C-alpha cells in the first residue's frame, strides 16, 4: 500500500468517525429538546431497541445479552417505540408532568464498516434527568448500534443499551438512551 493510499484510508476513517459523532450529537440534541418524533425518525422501520437487565455477576459467570432470565427493561420494535414517543409527546404521561429536563452526553464513539455498507457504532453515554428540583437521576452505560447510511446521514437499524446499573433507582424509565 502506498503512502497516498495510507493517507486516504486514514482520512476516510477520520471522516467516518466525525460523521458518526455528529450524528450522535444531533440525536442527543433532539432528545434533550424533547423533539421525540424527529428522534423516532432516526430509526429504521425494522429496528430493534433493546435495554437488557444488567446483573452483577462473579467474574467467571457469563450472562447473555438479555440477562440470565432473558429479561429486558425495553425490547422494542419500531411500533412500540412509536407508542412510547407518542405517549411522551402527548402531555398526558403523568410521570412527565411537568416534563423532565434531560441532558445526554455521548463519548468514546467508535465506528467500523460492516459488510453491506452498514456500520457497527459503539458509544458510551451519561444521561442526566432532572424533574421538580428534587428528582435527579444519572444513567451511565454503553450503546452498540448498527447504523445504515441514509444519504449524508444515518439511520439506526438496531440499538442495544447496556446500563451500568444493576439496580435502577429511578422512579421510572421515561428516558431514551
- Which of 99-103, 116-120, 123-127, 148-152 shows the lowest per-residue confidence on average (mean pLDDT)? 99-103
What's the DSSP call for residue 149? E
| Closest listed residue to residue 145, CA positions, set 132, 153, 155 | 155
| Closest listed residue to residue 121, CA positions, set 108, 135, 111, 129 | 111
Q: CA-CA distance, 112 to 17, in Å (whole number)?
A: 9
How buried is residue 119: exposed, middle or buried, by Cβ count under 10 Å (0-12/13-18/19+)? buried
Q: What does the pLDDT look like over 77-120, one tens digit per residue?
A: 999 999 999 988 777 777 777 888 999 999 999 999 999 999 99
On whether the CB atoms of residues 111 and 17 are closer than 8 A, the answer is yes
Does 3.10.450.50 match the CATH number of domain 3-163?
yes
Segments making up each domain of the chain, as ranges: 3-163
Q: What does the pLDDT look like over 5-42, one tens digit per residue?
A: 888 888 999 999 999 999 999 999 999 999 999 999 99
Sign of the CA dihedral 146, 149, 150, 153? positive
| Residue 137 phi, psi (nearest 5) | -130, 145
The C-alpha cell of 125 is what? 453515554
Cell numbers 497516498 label which residue?
A: 4
Amino acid at each position: 500500500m502506498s503512502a497516498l493510499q495510507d493517507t486516504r484510508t486514514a482520512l476516510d476513517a477520520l471522516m467516518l468517525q466525525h460523521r458518526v459523532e455528529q450524528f450522535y450529537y444531533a440525536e442527543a440534541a433532539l432528545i434533550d429538546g424533547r423533539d421525540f418524533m424527529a428522534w423516532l425518525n432516526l430509526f429504521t422501520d425494522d429496528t430493534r431497541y433493546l435495554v437488557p437487565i444488567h446483573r452483577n455477576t462473579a467474574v467467571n459467570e457469563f450472562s447473555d445479552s438479555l440477562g440470565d432470565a432473558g429479561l429486558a427493561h425495553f425490547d422494542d420494535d419500531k411500533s412500540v417505540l412509536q407508542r412510547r414517543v407518542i405517549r411522551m409527546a402527548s402531555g398526558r404521561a403523568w410521570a412527565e408532568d411537568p416534563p423532565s429536563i434531560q441532558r445526554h452526553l455521548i463519548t468514546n464513539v467508535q465506528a467500523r464498516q460492516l459488510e453491506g455498507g452498514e456500520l457497527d457504532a459503539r458509544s458510551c453515554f451519561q444521561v442526566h434527568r432532572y424533574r421538580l428540583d428534587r428528582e435527579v437521576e444519572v444513567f451511565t452505560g454503553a450503546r452498540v448500534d448498527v447504523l445504515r447510511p441514509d444519504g449524508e446521514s444515518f439511520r439506526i437499524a438496531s440499538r442495544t443499551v447496556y446500563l451500568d446499573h444493576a439496580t435502577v433507582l429511578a422512579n421510572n424509565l421515561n428516558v431514551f438512551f
